[in-house]
Structure 1
Amino acid sequence: MRTIVIILSFFVLFSCNSNSDVEEYIPLEGGIERWELVRMTGSLINSETTGDEMSWQEYYLINPDGSFFKSRQRDGVITQATGTHILIQEGQQVYFELTYLTGEELIASCLGNGKEILSLRNQVLFGSWNACDGPGLEYRLVD
């Protein structure tokens, strides 16, 4: 129950944005999308890393057919995951719900149910792991 409250709080926090930038970008309109991790934040003030300073490098390939691929490189080791996704729009809030079929060790989530939530705001994907003391993860779309 605590996990659900944390996740809902996360969405409420980020849905209170008065910008209408969500309309500028239509997810998956151009085909397969590559989203790369560009920033990690911690729970301490000014605990932000970017680029090669991050603990790992990773990206998602989000496919219009409802599948995704995730790859993480950490300490020279590459780990991969696959699964399915659904795109959910509630008002101006847009997010991907990923369901992992393989590579469950890459799930960055508080849910513990094989799923991960990525919230889309201002053309940036935000992970929800920081809602339960995981790192804040920010992804940017790569052309």
Structure 2
Amino acid sequence: MKNLVILVAFLSVFSSCSKDDAVTMDSTSYYGKWTLVSMSGSIPNSEATGTAMEWQEFYLFNTNGTFTKSRERNSVKTSISGTYTTTIQSDGIFFELTYPNDSEIIGSCYGNQKEQLYLTGNNSLSSTWSYCDGPKLKYKR
């Protein structure tokens, strides 16, 4: 009987978790322009938004598996295009962006002309660059 009570308590705890953070977009509703809305570093309270950010940038995802990333920093505009794939994982939709050549605007932990992004529960797009001490970047449609 004691084991049954423990099992019921265990299942209750895990089945009562909120689904508020679940990704609500389907795998095709991410097409279009995603604009950088905030960036922050590893230092507490370092978030910057709008014109206070070090640069302005956006991604434009096309339905044919191609994208363009564009950044403006110190009045210099840089753009690069490439291809992307998406995977639906248990914790959301992940993007792998592949660039044809190296560029200073690729935000990657690996330096291999690839970049990874993921859709968050509040329907924003985030970069994985922060996993390796890069800035935490958040994009909105």
Q: Is the structural similarity TM-score above 0.5?
A: yes
> 1:82 touches 1:103 (CA, 8 Å); kept in 2?
no
Aligned partner of 2:52 in structure 1 is 53
TM-score, normalised via structure 1 length: 0.79
State the number of aligned residues. Answer: 124
What is the CA–CA distance in structure 1 between the aligned matches of 2:40 and 2:75, rounded to whole Å? 22
- Alignment pair present for 1:139 and 2:128: no
> In structure 1, the residue corresponding to 2:130 is in which secondary structure?
helix
Q: CA deviation at 1:116?
A: 0.4
* Distance change in 2, residues 1:103/1:28 (3 Å): farther
Q: Which of 1 and 2 has greater Rg?
A: 2
* Distance change in 2, residues 1:100/1:71 (3 Å): same
* Distance change in 2, residues 1:29/1:18 (3 Å): closer
What is the CA–CA distance in structure 1 between the aligned matches of 2:70 and 2:27, rounded to whole Å? 20
- RMSD value, Cα: 2.0
Matched-pair identity in %: 42
> 2:82 touches 2:98 (CA, 8 Å); kept in 1?
yes
> In structure 1, the residue corresponding to 2:131 is in which secondary structure?
helix
1:98-117 equivalences under 5 Å are 98-102=97-101, 104-117=103-116
Q: Which runs of 5+ in 2 are unaligned?
A: 1-17
* Distance change in 2, residues 1:20/1:138 (3 Å): closer
